[in-house]
Amino acid sequence: MPAKPLTLTEQARRAQLIGVTIDLIARHGYAGTSLARIAEAAGISKAAVLYHFPSKDAVVRAAYDSVLEGLTARVGAAVAAQSGAAAVEAYIRSMVGYLAENPAHTRMIVEAIVEAPAVDDTPGAPSRRQSVAALIAAARDAGDYRADVDPGLTAVIMNGALDAIVSESLTDPAFDTAAAAGYLIDLLRRTLR
């Protein structure tokens, strides 16, 4: 892979197309985002879009990847800076924090989870559930949590609660996500010891 050098225009257009696609999906959903709309939002023709990307699906996938990359970068950094129960709590806080600050990205991810069949992570990568379960297992083994907590089940439940908080903030802008994250962390502390 020699990674052919990209033109300036190329880079700029790609970035712009990814940007408008994220916005469109956030506003009109995955199904309501057509090639024509993307082109119109970017101020160019359909053909021009397909000049920079091989297909409409590729545009959407690139947009999705871009969002996911931003999220994982931030959450990964936050988690890596901690260990044990603190890492789990950093995960919750950074996740909620990022998504609260980037509602458009959030919509995009939520939509992708349910609607998009082709758009998902690389098959080899560990699932979100597994990653979180590992975090919880580590906290348990470090003695922060009771010995009988089930990392897998706890991960499922915790992720669900997290998603619910994020979803709630999408439908109710007045919803205090930071407070909710704090409340969730408090609940978990109480339950997991």
Q: Give the residues lining the site for a copy of itself (CB under 8 A).
A: 29-31, 110-111, 113-115, 117, 129, 150, 153-154, 156-165, 167-168, 179-180, 183-184, 187, 190-191
C-beta of 42 vs 75, nearer to a copy of itself: 75
Q: How far is the CB of 4 from a copy of itself (least distance, A)?
A: 35
d(CA 155, CA 193): 16
The interface partner of residue 80, options being a copy of itself, DNA, none and the CB cut-off 5 to 8 Å by kind, is none
The answer to whether 80 touches 23, Cβ cutoff 8 Å, is no
Q: Which of residues 45-74 bind DNA (CB under 7 A)?
A: 45-48, 50-52, 55-57
Q: How far is the CB of 40 from DNA (least distance, A)?
A: 9
Question: Does 171 sit near DNA (CB under 7 A)?
Answer: no
Q: Which residue is it, tokens 């990674």? A: 3
* Number of residues this chain uses to bind DNA (CB under 7 A): 22
The answer to whether 29 touches 111, Cβ cutoff 8 Å, is yes
Query: Which burial class, exposed, middle or buried, applies to 101 when counting CB atoms under 10 A from its CB (0-12, 13-18, 19+)?
Result: exposed
d(CA 126, CA 130): 6
The interface partner of residue 100, options being a copy of itself, DNA, none and the CB cut-off 5 to 8 Å by kind, is none
